[in-house]
Amino acid sequence: MAESTGGAKEAKFLQEINVQARSPIHFGVICLILCLVPLVVSNEYYLHVLISIFYHIIYASTYRFILRTGQFHFGAHAFIGIGAYSSALLVTKLGLSFWLAMPIAGLISATCAILVGYPTLRLKGIYFAIITWGLGDTLRFLYIRFESLFGGALGIFSIPEPDSFPFFSNIDFSQKSHFYVLSVLLMMFTLYILYRMEKSRLGLIFGAVREGDKLARSLGINIMNYKVLAFAVCSGLAAMAGSFYAHYTYYISPKDFSILLTIYLAIYTIVGGKENFYGCIIGTSILMLAGEIFAGYAHYQLLMYSGLLILIILFLPNGLVSIYDIIGRLFSSSAKSTALKDA
Amino acid sequence: MEHAEIVQNIINAFSIGAIYALLALGMTLLFGIMDILFFAHGAMYMLGAYTAFYLGTKLGLSYFLVIPLGIFLVGILGVGLEKALIKPIRNDHIAIIFLAIGLNWFLESLGFIVFGLRPKPVDSIFTGNLKILGATISWERAVVVIVGLLAVCGLYLFLMKSKWGLGMRAFAEDAEAAELQGISNDSICSLGFFIGCGLAALAGILVAPVFIITPTMGSHAVLISLLVIGLGGLGSIPGALISAFIIGAIEALGTAYFGADVTWGLIFIFVVIFLAVRPTGILGVERE
């Protein structure tokens, strides 16, 4: 009896939070609008920039979600690399279809995340960082070492493009716009899952876990399972984006998945604002567009990004999204002061 | 296995371990005293190596002059960075970690622009080899071992015996209470950063003739230091020394019998299993 009322209370509470959450229709509309962009923009370079922004948004938002559970994640590149390599190997060595290989790559990565997560997520903060970073570097050594399987330091060449879209045989990925639509679908799918997770009971639990580990545990929340769940889901989604990356660029090498990738993701997330769901989306978009100015000068790009990271942490701790709030507050306070003058 | 081979392996393990201990020393000090994981440690190490190149090889200063000069320059840089960047956000540990990450890669990319991509060789004044019980070790490595051990012992004595060391330990225990007792938090932090960054520079200067120096050497050093201090127990100096020698031994034996690239995996798996069994590391204590 008590259990059922408790359940009803919880359902009501969840409904209340969900009122503020956007419905799937919002995501569908945004997705549709984004998908129509190639009709207007036909320049391949612009499409390429948009595609790379989109899969980086997937990386960054999954990275942010793991940060939200209170873990310093330094192995995003490890799991993205697992996704890219396993998908590329499944397609080139076993001849699987891309549409099968991508989810399998996600599952492999999620399984690895569970295997790594169970012993390490128990450890506080920085140990997790050490171990995930170590994992990423170890995998790079493995890729280089086992040349016959992973192609060594040169990587895997001529990964085929995805075969034509199921049920739509005229979408055969001979054009950039086809990749563009796929990247939009993948991004919106990922963002929708993360959004639902954040606005559901799960999101509240992660908030509780981050704020007070011990308190949440004393209330009967099994932190470990939730942390591992979040870690596995995010790693799987990031790996699917990694698989997309492999088939989009036709070529992967160990140096694509170095610690620098994770550092970039950390910069995008923090600069955008890690507390806000839209923060890393905005951060990734703005920084990657700005980074195009320095395309080809990788060191100047990293110099700008890391300099910006330092400035943001010192002067705008909640990231670029907080500019919106600050402007809003300025306007409301100026409106208040004029109202006071009038009175 | 022959007698000489065993001795050779032990000596190799010892020399690698001493280099790693020296690398991790500054970082473990900063973590132990201030609870800060200072990722820019790697950049300081890199800058130390480049001061050895520019002051020693380019300007032709004596190596014995380069060591204190390099420690001083990088130490002062560390204090400046602490005053300018870390002090405003001292209580926000997550922000400090990301700030230090930004700083590390900022200095590294600046290093690429200023120093160039080409690896720089640094001449050593210690030439020739030392023979111990039938095994050989080059003098430059032997010097690293000796100085590394001296630095660890010196730092430990400084923390345990000197007045400033007592102040630092008091600060680590309870910063507010220490301030009330007249221990200035600002001076302790500055001193901590001076010593921490100076030790990173010392490691860089000593290691420069042994390895080739490039701007990226710092990032790898950060990972090694993290593994060493994680295994040893965060913030524990004796723990870092023990774990540096354990990792050195795994690396020396692994390289001799399995090859260099597998060794890295072995070290990593060892650290993961050890931490899964004992999450506080070898000598660490649970802290909130």
Is A317 close to B271, i.e. CB distance below 8 A? no
pLDDT at residue A329 in the model:
84
Cα distances (angstroms) measured from residue B116 to each of A301, B9, B238 = 16, 36, 38
Task: Encode pLDDT of B78-108 as tens digits.
Answer: 999 999 988 888 878 888 889 999 999 999 9
Cα distances (angstroms) measured from residue A98 to each of A89, A247, A248, B274, B288 = 11, 8, 11, 39, 47
* CA B225/CA B29 separation, integer angstroms: 12
Is A309 close to B101, i.e. CB distance below 8 A? yes
User: Which residues lie across from B130 on neighbouring strands?
Assistant: B137
Cα distances (angstroms) measured from residue A297 to each of A292, A331, B121 = 10, 40, 25
Contacts of B243 in chain A (CB under 8 A): none
Burial of A56 (0-12, 13-18, 19+ CB in 10 A): buried
Cβ within 8 Å of residue A259, ≥6 positions away: A74, A77, A133, A136, A137, B219, B223
DSSP code per residue over A304-337:
HHHHHHHHHHHH-TT-THHHHHHHHHHHHHHHHH
Task: Encode pLDDT of B32-77 as tens digits.
Answer: 888 888 889 999 999 999 998 888 888 888 888 888 999 999 999 9
Q: Which residue has the higher pLDDT, B80 or B275?
A: B80
Instruction: Nearest chain B residue to A118 by CA: give it.
Output: B276
Is A310 close to B108, i.e. CB distance below 8 A? no
Q: How many CA atoms lie within 13 A of A284 on its CB side?
A: 29
By residue count, chain B amounts to: 288
Q: Which of B113, B268, B271, B282 to mutate to test the interface with A (most CBs of A within 10 A)?
A: B268
Residues B77-80: contacts with CB within 8 Å, 24+ apart? B77/B44, B77/B47, B77/B197, B78/B44, B78/B193, B78/B194, B78/B196, B78/B197, B78/B198, B79/B190, B79/B193, B79/B194, B79/B197
User: Chain B residues contacting A, CB < 8 Å?
Assistant: 37, 85, 88-89, 92, 95, 97-99, 101-106, 108-110, 112-113, 219, 223, 226-227, 230, 234, 261-262, 264-265, 268, 271-273, 275-276, 279
Q: Are A206 and A66 in contact (CB under 8 A)?
A: no
Contacts of A268 in chain B (CB under 8 A): none
Cβ within 8 Å of residue A289, ≥6 positions away: A49, A53
Q: In this predicted complex, what is the ipTM?
A: 0.86
Instruction: Nearest chain A residue to B105 by CA: give it.
Output: A306
**How far is B18 from chain A, CA to nearest CA, in Å?**
21
Q: Are B39 and B100 in contact (CB under 8 A)?
A: yes
Contacts of A127 in chain B (CB under 8 A): 230, 275, 279
Is B98 close to A314, i.e. CB distance below 8 A? no
Residue keyed to tokens 């942490």: A313
pLDDT at residue B288 in the model:
42
Q: Which of B37, B227, B261 sits opposite A134 (nearest CB)?
A: B227
Q: Which of B30, B37, B272 to mutate to test the interface with A (most CBs of A within 10 A)?
A: B272
Buried b (16+ CB within 10 A) or exposed e, B125-135: eeeeeeeeeeb
Residues A281-288: contacts with CB within 8 Å, 24+ apart? A281/A57, A281/A60, A281/A61, A281/A191, A282/A320, A282/A321, A283/A60, A283/A319, A283/A320, A284/A53, A284/A56, A284/A57, A284/A60, A285/A53, A285/A57, A286/A320, A288/A49, A288/A52, A288/A53, A288/A56
Q: Which of B109, B219, B220 to mutate to test the interface with A (most CBs of A within 10 A)?
A: B109
Cα distances (angstroms) measured from residue B96 to each of A109, A292, B87, B108, B288 = 30, 28, 10, 18, 17
Q: Which of B106, B109, B113 sits opposite A310 (nearest CB)?
A: B106
Percent of chain B with pLDDT over 90: 23
Contacts of A267 in chain B (CB under 8 A): 102
Cβ within 8 Å of residue B72, ≥6 positions away: B198
Is A306 close to B276, i.e. CB distance below 8 A? no
Where do the H-state alpha helices sit in chain B? 3-34, 41-51, 63-81, 93-115, 139-161, 163-173, 175-180, 185-207, 217-232, 237-257, 260-277
Task: Encode pLDDT of B115-129 as tens digits.
Answer: 888 888 777 777 777
Q: Which of A299, A305, A309 sits opposite B112 (nearest CB)?
A: A299
pLDDT at residue A295 in the model:
75
Task: Encode pLDDT of B1-40 as tens digits.
Answer: 567 778 888 888 888 888 889 889 888 898 888 888 888 9
Contacts of B112 in chain A (CB under 8 A): 299
* CA B204/CA B211 separation, integer angstroms: 10
Q: Which of A120, A144, A314 sits opposite B88 (nearest CB)?
A: A314
Q: Are A121 and A228 in contact (CB under 8 A)?
A: yes
* Domain coordinates in residue numbering, chain B: 22-215
* CA A177/CA A183 separation, integer angstroms: 10
pLDDT at B280 over 60: yes
**pLDDT, mean of each 10-residue run, chain A (343 residues):** 54 59 78 85 88 94 89 90 94 89 95 88 78 86 84 84 72 82 92 87 74 67 81 94 93 90 93 88 92 80 91 89 85 67 56
Q: Which of A141, A267, A306 sits opposite B109 (nearest CB)?
A: A306
Is B271 close to A134, i.e. CB distance below 8 A? yes
Residue B268 burial (CB count, 10 A)? 22
Contacts of B97 in chain A (CB under 8 A): 72, 126
